[in-house]
Amino acid sequence: MVTGADGFIGHALCKKLLADNYKIKGVVRSKYHNSKFIEGLDTSLFETIGPKTDWSEALIGIECVVHLAALVHIVNNDTHDPLKVFREVNVAGTECLAREAASANVKRLIYMSTVKVNGERTGDRGQGAGVRSQKKTEVRGREGELKEFFSEEDVPEPQDSYAVSKWEAEKVLNKISSETGMETVIIRSPLVYGPRVKANFLRLLKVVERGIPLPLANINNRRSLIYLGNLVDAIVACIKNPKAAGQTYLVSDGDDVSTSELIRRMGYAMGRPVRLFSLPPILLKMAGIISGKSIEIDRLLHSLTIDCSKIRRELEWQAPFSMDQGLRETAKWYKKEDRCQESEV
């Protein structure tokens, strides 16, 4: 059973599992459901996911649950207690599903978490970007230095309400596993890109496609990403491999890039010239403050790198697609979508 089956990751995972002859059930929000989104997929419709959701019928005959559904953003910015809202779905909702799954004799539950559980940034590996953090709230190395990369051995330091809720859900799942014997596997992912991508990555695709100049030429940070096809392959490995039981894995393409290098690769994949020029990071940060986009600017400037050697070592997993392959597939999808939108207009 795959929750969030009509989402960005869930859609691709269900198609892969069906192609591999798995018998699967997709859980989708009935409010947004399109019954034709994947041909041949058996679906269960749910109004909400929370502490009182009844999973009993959907879990009949299920051996493994992949829990992708989550609250990622709060649309209503007037919410006074965002952590409470995130906890309702991501913690209490996950606990409800896990306990009912254990009662239904589900063997394994795979939980999609986030690298944000580890923190928001790592060190810049001495790349000289001029954007090394001075904040002590994100210290992981000795003597006040940020760690070079995140790993499963880190003490979690979630910084926002969403990340806190995902970390709390991880702890709840480990507790339920110890109490019931149901196997749990936790996957922490960085930014995922690929066909049907949304949010900031889609906006960056649009900027590159239009040839808009960007002031990011001298940003020499390092960031880990993961192509959708690689993430789906890692999830399948966690479904199949007995060694995954009880483990937490950080996953990525294994090809860390600077923001400027990522944009150049995106331009190459799209067949578009990339126009980059230099601007001091301090001015970019000021622009972020003025525009209310400080978080987005920080992600462009700072590093976040992952050591994914554990999953490679324990499950003998290798990313089947290179970053350049992933970007080409993403660009191909984007161009097709763009043409479809033009024809509709």
Residues labelled as active-site residues = 162
Q: Per-residue DSSP letters for 313-337? A: HHH----SS-HHHHHHHHHHHHHHH
In angstroms, rounded to a whole number, what is the distance separating the alpha carbons of residues 16 and 10? Answer: 10
Cα–Cα separations (whole angstroms), residue 287 to 127, 203, 262: 23, 18, 21
CA-nearest of 213, 191, 327, 308 to 262 is: 327
| Measured distance CA(19)–CA(150) in Å, rounded | 33
The answer to whether the CB of 119 falls within 8 A of the CB of 150 is: yes
Measured CA angle at 158 (ends 86, 182), to 5 deg: 70
Helix H or strand E encompassing 277: none
Q: In whole angstroms, what is the distance from residue 151 CA to residue 281 CA?
A: 28
User: Phi and psi dihedrals of 77, rounded to 5?
Assistant: -70, -5
Joined together, the tokens standing for residue 336 give 């097709």
- 72 CB contacts (<8 Å, ≥6 apart)? 162
Answer for the pair 195, 228: CB distance below 8 angstroms, yes or no: yes
Would you state the structure tokens that stand for residue 330, as one six-digit string?
């993403």
Tell me how far apart the alpha carbons of residues 319 and 269 are, in angstroms, rounded to a whole number.
19
